[in-house]
Amino acid sequence: MASSLSRVLPLSRVSPHRFPSLCPSSSSFARPRAFSLSASSLSSAAHMSSPSPPARHDHLPSPSDYTRDADRWRPMCLYHTQGKCTMTDDPLHLEKFNHHAARDLQVSAANLEHVCPQDLDHFLVLDLEGKVEILEFPVLIIDAKSLSVIALFHRFVRPSQMSETRVNEYVKGKYGKFGVDRVWHDTAIPFEEVIAEFETWLAQHHLWAKEQGGKLNRAAFVTCGNWDLKTKVPQQCKVSRIKLPGYFMEWINLKDVYLNFYHREARGMMAMMKQLDISVLGSHHLGMDDTKNIASVLQRMLVNGAVMRITAWRTPKSPDKVQFAYQNRI
């Protein structure tokens, strides 16, 4: 474990508020630089006991809860992100693995000077994983004023239309290289259960109420591309035989905002981070880590003066027809 954690990856590698307005750009964004480690969420493999019933870990500590030692990057404990860590009283485990998603996404007060007023109060950063069926569903709530992480929702998702043999092959191919296939098998639940738990979580944070029409309350999903909500979630809803929830009808594609704000193209998360000189944390294509990295791009853009508004939307009457705010888009 120690040797694998020391490896370092190279850095190369509703509605419509139609158009983001632009504010004067700020100069620098003083986030601490950090190394990108290939062993990202090997946290899961460190657990040697069975997961306990889900506990509440939704509310995240404030920056004052962190010590200076916390500046050292650590992989997230992927049992903890799902409320199932049984080792929170183990000092060695706590030393190795991060149990606070906000730790890597703190923004200093000085960097908030150029943040423009937003039409939304919260951003829900989402990055799904799984090409055949969804395997991972992570969401971070970012406050639009303070840019702080308010809460985290993270679930591994068990496919419903695949044989056990195919699931094992699928998961090993996807997560085996990260060393987190065991935590996936320990914690994954069907998509319809994930959505039910997600809706409870949204309601707890006053971001959604079914009786109010199903839309988010002054909040929007932020994705790196249109695939997650334009294509994959509707596909998975059909496979899981559930109705597409109303809160998935609109979203902000960060790549489109990036293109029209900076007037330069970035085809993906890694390109945006490289252009903005943001260090990549964790393992690319591990949903929890990618969500945090996308959140760091969002924070940087907000600090630089970007205003986030809806870039894509559909209507319940025509769910297959997606409209886009930008003509100049990726």
Which residues are known to be catalytic?
Answer: 129, 285
69-101 b/e (C-beta count within 10 Å ≥ 16 → b): eeeebbbbbbbbbbbbbbbeeeeebbebbbbbb
Residue-by-residue DSSP string for 257-271: HHHHHHSS---SHHH
Residue 201 CA neighbour count, 13 Å, CB half = 25
Cβ-proximal residues to 164 (8 Å cutoff; 6+ apart), any chain: none
Cβ-proximal residues to 63 (8 Å cutoff; 6+ apart), any chain: 102, 106, 148
Distance (Å, whole) CA 122 – CA 226: 19
Distance (Å, whole) CA 89 – CA 193: 29
Q: What is the DSSP letter of 226?
A: S
Residues facing residue 108 across a β-bridge:
none
The single residue listed with the structure tokens 């799904």 is 128
